[in-house]
Amino acid sequence: MFKRFWAVFHARNREFFRDRSSFGWNFFFPFLLVFGFAFVFGNGQPMFKVGVMGEQDAYISKPLLFDVKHIQWVPYLEQDVAVKKLRQHQIDLLVQLDRKTYWVNRSSPKGYMVEKLLLADDPGFQRTVIDGRQVRYVDWVLPGVIGMNIMFSSLFGVGYVIVRYRKIGVLKRFKATPLGAVEYLSAQMLSRWLILMFVCAVIFFGCHWALDTLMLGSYWSFFAVLAIGIFTMISLGLVIASRTRSEELTGGLLNFASWPMMGLSGVWFSLEGAPQWLQQVSQLLPLTHIVAASRAIAVEGETLASQSDHVVTLMVMTVLFIGAGAALFSWDADGR
């Protein structure tokens, strides 16, 4: 019994170490992830984000709270834009120094704390509570959670399965049938799309019923964005799985695609106030456009037409990913 166990144990170890791609990736990816986030968020995330109305030079020399650590100051020129950010929990407080007034979101715990700091430093500021129904954090984060679920289910539910089928020879058997690559990939995409649309509907309406989450826009527009986004994510999974045969390598590549999107696509926190180059990088990630468009429809009441830039970007990405995946697709485990 021990000899059989040792033979399997030894063979599996040799298989792993001989697969240089997956062996190297298991060491390379964690370092890449840690050093990447250390570079991007090297100074840590601020505890509070405070918006300031007016030109930057108008407030940067003021002593008001500027010596307090862990507060990030975000300048705004338009009050409507700034108030919208406050309502969406993208900033915690909004101040206008020349008028000695500030705006606070009543439902924001961070807003409550930074308001206390402001009044302790200068009690002469006048308080203004934003009008309308407040956007809770759960309202704001729900589209991000649904987008995250789409990402993981699409990438791993399609990409990883195809690689496993290729490795064990299932795809090679399909090749001997009249089934074509386009037919096979289309069936995979449509199957996963229908499943994810059902899952997204259950998650959204379940939370909407249990937590009374916001939906200020159209339900049809909201789910139209999700439908397009699902196709985009599935297409990305097909590109990653188009030729690889190693499950370990595929898992690494899928993690490499998904984890940056987790941190940079606005799923859990806003990139408001982040460096401009980082915000531009986030625009290259499909999850950014899924979350941004669905969130704008749900919590801002925007229409599908107003989010056309995100929708068009997702469509272009889908076409590019499908084209690349179809061109690179291989039935065989050896990549032919």
Q: Say yes or no: 93 and 152 in one domain.
A: no
In a domain, 143, yes or no: yes
In a domain, 6, yes or no: no
Q: Say yes or no: 94 and 239 in one domain.
A: no
In a domain, 75, yes or no: yes
Distance CA 90, CA 140 (A): 9
Provide the number of structural domains found in the chain. Answer: 2
Provide the pLDDT confidence category of residue 104 given band limits of 50, 70 and 90.
confident
In a domain, 267, yes or no: yes
- Helix count (H) and strand count (E) of the chain? 14, 5
Domain boundary among 129, 151, 167: 129
Provide the pLDDT confidence category of residue 61 given band limits of 50, 70 and 90.
very low
Give Cβ neighbours of residue 84 (< 8 Å, ≥ 6 apart).
Answer: 300
pLDDT at 314: 94
pLDDT at 224: 94
CA dist list (Å): 173 to 118, 178, 262:
69, 11, 36
Domain boundary among 84, 110, 129: 129
Provide the pLDDT confidence category of residue 13 given band limits of 50, 70 and 90.
low
Q: Say yes or no: 157 and 243 in one domain.
A: yes
Q: Say yes or no: 100 and 163 in one domain.
A: no
User: In the predicted model, is pLDDT for residue 222 greater than 70?
Assistant: yes
**Is the Cβ–Cβ distance between 12 and 247 less than 8 Å?**
no
In a domain, 238, yes or no: yes
Q: Say yes or no: 77 and 194 in one domain.
A: no
Q: Say yes or no: 180 and 67 in one domain.
A: no
pLDDT at 169: 75
Q: Say yes or no: 218 and 313 in one domain.
A: yes
Q: Say yes or no: 256 and 285 in one domain.
A: yes
Range of the domain at 267: 137-328
In a domain, 87, yes or no: yes
In a domain, 37, yes or no: no
Number of Cβ within a 10 Å radius of residue 303: 12
Pairing of strands 101-104, 93-96: antiparallel
Q: What is the mean pLDDT of the chain?
A: 76
pLDDT at 95: 86
Q: Say yes or no: 292 and 195 in one domain.
A: yes
* Buried b or exposed e, range 140-160, using 16+ CB within 10 angstroms: bbbbbbbbbebbebbbbbbbb
Q: Say yes or no: 189 and 141 in one domain.
A: yes
Q: Say yes or no: 118 and 146 in one domain.
A: no
Q: Say yes or no: 245 and 317 in one domain.
A: yes
**Phi, psi (deg, nearest 5) at residue 129:** -95, 130
Query: What average pLDDT does range 314-327 have in this prediction?
Result: 87
Domain boundary among 81, 110, 129: 129
Coil/strand/helix, residue 68: coil
pLDDT at 316: 94
In a domain, 8, yes or no: no
Separation of CA 91 from chain center? 19
The CATH number for 114's domain is 3.40.190
